[in-house]
């Protein structure tokens, strides 16, 4: 008897305006904002990058920041941005508009001296900033409208002086602080890294004895799976690598520390965790030799040890210091001085990255920022927002079903890949939104669709310790049960 074929369904990003949430204007597909802070001109430059070619285009006027502006931290949902102002002990707060445009909001005192490193937790609820000369880390709760409220007991004192850099594990449970003395005793100082547990209310508790190492340390990156941390120590020209335990404890990686060209400062892990890149300004301070500086790349071994990639290091303007990477890991950017005017003005060096992590300077690099004086942590990228999966099935003949995912969307790009599992042990990946499948028998089958956008963002949140690159979401996958008769 021939079964009658039937089918039954059994289951089935934003801007902040005046403190309220509204639906965002769709971003042009394939664009990504990259920012450079300019400490001497006290402002922020914005580039719009073509995600296909990596070429940055300086866009709009520079946006005012505080004196001595340093690092930026952006919320994972790409709605808010904050910048530390070392010159007056404040944070500049911004809402983020179309194409990453910064809309100034408020200036918030940090409660300490010389705020430098700044980070937002991967969940977007808390912000932390290190005070170089106050021996403390300030913590803030981030309200839905972007307002910062000091956490109870903030600032938190650190047991080691001169906190500079901060990084948070991808699960938001631990905060690490890199220390370095920029004062008159610098040449006799020893750097450090300290560990704090982040409680559910955002307050901090130091949980490990600080590890003393190197000299003038600070910037850190954490690979996206949260297993390893890498810390730059500038005066000793090295990277210290650590395995991160389940309790947040740090254990030195094999062969750590790793040598890196003169005065490493900025550091970033690739989105897949296979590479680490470092910006070295070579300023001739802290007993290090002067030079133009460079960007270096390292492959991360199975044991976490670093080895230089081919053709590393490469020149990157004069004094490259901040460094960031696009969410798909194909392009790298370093804030630097423009060699066309002896480094007096700011610029952005741009590199393409191949599958082996090798860097390739882009034509026209470095690109002028229009600002002056990029400094610590002065390059940042707008987080990519994950896509939303949706599909409808339709019987075409017998047990053959066509699935249409045209209703899937991406708030800041386009859906580029559709992965289907049909519930009968088979699967299919397509670039286009439609798939056809013939079932071998009658029954109930759960069909699952997972979508990925044009920058590789899907269900997973991808964080590098200092920033979220991809704000992945469970909404990138959806499932429906179908009954085949």
- As for how many domains the chain has, the answer is 2
pLDDT of residue 29: 61
Q: Which residues contact 74 (CB under 8 A, 6 or more apart)?
A: 80, 81, 82, 96, 120, 380, 382, 383, 467, 468
pLDDT of residue 290: 87
Q: Find how far residue 321's CA is from the centre of its chain.
A: 16
pLDDT of residue 14: 28
pLDDT of residue 298: 98
The pTM of this model reads: 0.92
If asked whether residues 171 and 310 sit together in one domain, one would say yes
C-alpha separations of 12 from 447, 479, 482 in Å: 11, 7, 10
| Under-70 pLDDT residues of the chain | 1-29
Q: Tell me which of 343, 358, 383 is where a domain ends.
A: 383
Domain membership of residue 12 (yes or no) is no
pLDDT of residue 28: 53
Give the residue numbers spanning the domain of 199. 25-383
Tokens 């006290």: give the residue. 42
If asked whether residues 398 and 370 sit together in one domain, one would say no
Sign of the CA dihedral with 3 first, then 9, 11, and 12 last: positive
Q: Which of 164, 162, 203 is closest to 186 using CA atoms?
A: 162
pLDDT of residue 83: 98
Q: Tell me which of 350, 383, 416 is where a domain ends.
A: 383
If asked whether residues 253 and 241 sit together in one domain, one would say yes
If asked whether residues 376 and 417 sit together in one domain, one would say no
Tokens of residue 31, six digits: 């664009």
**pLDDT tens column, 279-327:** 999 998 888 888 899 999 999 999 999 999 999 999 999 999 999 999 9
Residue by residue, DSSP assigns 425-474 as S-EEEESSSEEEEE-SSSEEEEEEEEEEETTS-SSSEEE-SS-EEEE--G
Residue by residue, DSSP assigns 177-197 as EEE---STTGGG---EEEEEE
If asked whether residues 107 and 255 sit together in one domain, one would say yes
């Amino acid at each position: 008897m021939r079964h009658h074929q039937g089918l039954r369904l059994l289951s089935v990003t934003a801007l902040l305006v005046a403190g309220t949430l509204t639906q965002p204007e769709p971003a042009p597909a394939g664009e990504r904002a990259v920012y450079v802070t300019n400490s001497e001109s006290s402002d922020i430059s914005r580039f719009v990058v073509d995600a296909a070619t990596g070429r940055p285009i300086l866009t709009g006027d520079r946006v005012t920041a505080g004196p001595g502006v340093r690092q930026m931290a952006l919320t994972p949902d790409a709605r808010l941005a904050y910048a530390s102002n070392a010159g007056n002990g404040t944070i500049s707060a911004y809402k983020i508009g179309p194409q990453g445009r910064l809309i100034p909001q408020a200036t918030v005192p940090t409660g300490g001296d010389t705020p430098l490193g700044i980070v937002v937790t991967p969940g977007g609820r808390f912000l932390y900033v290190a005070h170089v000369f106050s021996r403390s880390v300030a913590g803030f709760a981030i309200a839905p409208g972007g307002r910062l409220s000091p956490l109870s007991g903030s600032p938190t004192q650190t047991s080691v002086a001169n906190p500079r850099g901060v990084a948070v594990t991808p699960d938001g449970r631990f905060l690490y602080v890199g220390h370095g003395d920029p004062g008159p005793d610098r040449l006799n100082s020893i750097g450090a890294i300290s560990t704090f547990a982040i409680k559910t209310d955002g307050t901090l508790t130091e949980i490990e004895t600080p590890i003393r190492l190197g000299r003038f340390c600070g910037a850190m990156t954490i690979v996206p799976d949260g297993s390893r941390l890498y810390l730059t120590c500038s005066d000793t020209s090295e990277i210290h690598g650590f395995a991160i335990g389940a309790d947040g404890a740090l254990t030195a990686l094999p062969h750590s520390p790793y040598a890196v060209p003169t005065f490493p400062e900025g550091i970033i892990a690739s989105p897949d965790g296979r590479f680490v890149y470092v910006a070295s300004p070579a300023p001739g301070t802290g007993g290090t030799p002067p030079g133009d500086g460079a960007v270096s790349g390292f492959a991360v071994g199975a044991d976490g040890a670093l080895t230089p990639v081919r053709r590393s290091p490469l020149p990157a303007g004069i004094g490259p210091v901040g460094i960031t990477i696009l969410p798909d890991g194909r392009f790298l950017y370093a804030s630097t001085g423009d060699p066309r005017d002896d480094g007096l003005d700011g610029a952005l060096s741009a590199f393409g990255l191949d599958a082996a992590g090798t860097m390739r300077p882009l034509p026209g690099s470095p690109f002028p920022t229009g600002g002056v004086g990029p400094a610590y942590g002065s390059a940042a990228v707008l987080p990519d927002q994950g896509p939303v999966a949706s599909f409808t099935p339709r019987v075409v003949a017998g047990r053959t079903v066509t699935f249409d995912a045209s209703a899937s969307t991406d708030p800041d790009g386009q859906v580029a890949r559709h992965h289907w599992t049909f519930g009968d042990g088979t699967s299919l990946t397509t670039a286009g939104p439609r798939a056809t499948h013939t079932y071998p028998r009658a029954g109930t089958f759960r069909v699952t669709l997972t979508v990925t956008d044009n920058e590789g963002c899907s269900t997973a949140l991808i964080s590098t310790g200092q920033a979220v690159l991809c704000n992945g979401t469970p909404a990138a996958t959806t499932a429906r049960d179908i009954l085949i008769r």
